[in-house]
Chain A
Amino acid sequence: EDQVTQSPEALRLQEGESSSLNCSYTVSGLRGLFWYRQDPGKGPEFLFTLYSAGEEKEKERLKATLTKKESFLHITAPKPEDSATYLCAVSTSGTYKYIFGTGTRLKVLA
């Protein structure tokens, strides 16, 4: 069965304290892995798409990487405005469905 697992469930960081969020996946025929940011009361906002192992994408303080089994979202020198829930999703061949993890709630303290 296709599955996506995110860890940790919650993470508290001091401002400037770098860390990584993990997204492990078990799917047959990965088509894409997607990272989203979700703020309270809002819908998920697209951040990155990764397609193949070894690929990396960067945006400001965020960097996403992909291996054959997992993806990491690295947050460098986070600021309080980076506080949000980060969601990971995958899409697979043979279906138009997307499978979401349950997210990591990130809190960055000033």
Chain B
Amino acid sequence: DAGITQSPRYKITETGRQVTLMCHQTWSHSYMFWYRQDLGHGLRLIYYSAAADITDKGEVPDGYVVSRSKTENFPLTLESATRSQTSVYFCASTGQGNNQPQHFGDGTRLSIL
């Protein structure tokens, strides 16, 4: 089915470990985004990508790494997880131009112990 899928849906890990969150979209959208959602802060942009091999920092990029070797995939890696990175992570995509709405996956709930 067409859409945007995130995996895993839930993840528990320990501080210091590396963890990768996956995002896959089937619309061939150019733009993809990673957000974290925390109570009281709303959605905050971590990284975004305008096309394959083009990425840029958002509001809260520290501690995160992204790559985009294929248009449809946009993985987010926490290189050395910290408790402050416990959050719900959402991936989104949109076609050309930011006058179009974003379409979101159902999120990954990440807990770091």
Stretch at the interface among B14-22, B70-78, B94-102: B94-102
B100 touches A32 (CB 8 A): yes
Q: Which of B41, B48, B100 contacts A97 (CB 8 A)?
A: B48
Is A43 close to B, CB under 8 A? yes
B98 touches A32 (CB 8 A): yes
- With both chains docked as a complex, state the minimum distance between the C-beta of A57 and any C-beta of chain B, in angstroms: 12
Chain A count of residues within 8 A CB distance of the other chain: 24
Q: Which of B80-113 contact A (CB under 8 A)?
A: 90, 92, 97-107
A42 touches B99 (CB 8 A): no
**Per-position contact with B for A59-93: 1 when CB-CB < 8 Å, else 0?**
00000000000000000000000000001010110
Q: Which residues of A contact B31 (CB under 8 A)?
A: 96
Size class of the B contact interface (CB-based, 8 Å): 20 to 34
A97 touches B58 (CB 8 A): yes
The secondary-structure label for the interface of chain A is strand
The complex places the Cα of A95 from the Cα of B50 at a distance, in Å, of: 11
Do A34 and B58 contact each other (CB < 8 Å), given the known contacts A44-B90, A96-B31?
no
**21 A-B contacts, Cβ less than 8 Å apart?**
A31-B99, A32-B101, A41-B106, A41-B107, A42-B106, A43-B90, A43-B104, A43-B105, A43-B106, A44-B43, A44-B102, A45-B104, A46-B103, A51-B99, A87-B43, A96-B98, A97-B48, A100-B43, A102-B40, A102-B42, A103-B42
Given contacts A41-B106, A49-B100, 18 further A-B contacts (CB under 8 A): A32-B98, A34-B101, A34-B102, A42-B107, A43-B92, A43-B104, A44-B43, A45-B104, A46-B103, A89-B43, A91-B99, A92-B98, A96-B48, A97-B48, A97-B58, A98-B98, A98-B102, A103-B42
